[in-house]
Amino acid sequence: MGDKARVTENKDFVKDLDSMVILNTNKGVVAKHKQKMAELNRAKHVESEINNLKSEVSDIKDMLSQILKAVGGEK
């Protein structure tokens, strides 16, 4: 990354003149955003794990039902 130019609309942003990417220079805001993204990723992971556990419990219930049918114990 080379030369940068201030973005006139917001003092926290600069534009990299080589890649034309706009960068946020406010480290506090960037850190908060990274933390929020990490929390969202953790929440998605937990939700996925819960859904997997629900599926596994359902599979176990189905297997138990089949076992009960096989031994003639279903009421």
If the chain, 75 residues long, is cut into consecutive pieces of 10 residues, what is the mean pLDDT of each piece?
77 87 90 97 98 98 94 71
Exposed e or buried b per residue across 56-70, where buried means at least 16 C-beta atoms within 10 angstroms of its C-beta: eeeeeeeeeeeeeee
| pLDDT value for 73 | 64
Q: Which domain holds residue 35?
A: 4-71
Residue 5: the pLDDT is 81
| Cβ–Cβ < 8 Å for 22, 33 | no
Is this model's pTM higher than 0.75 or not?
Answer: no
Instruction: Give the per-residue pLDDT at 40.
Output: 97
Number of domains in the chain: 1
pLDDT of residue 75: 54
Q: Which residues, including other chains, have CB under 8 Å from residue 2's CB and lie 6 or more apart?
A: 16, 17, 18
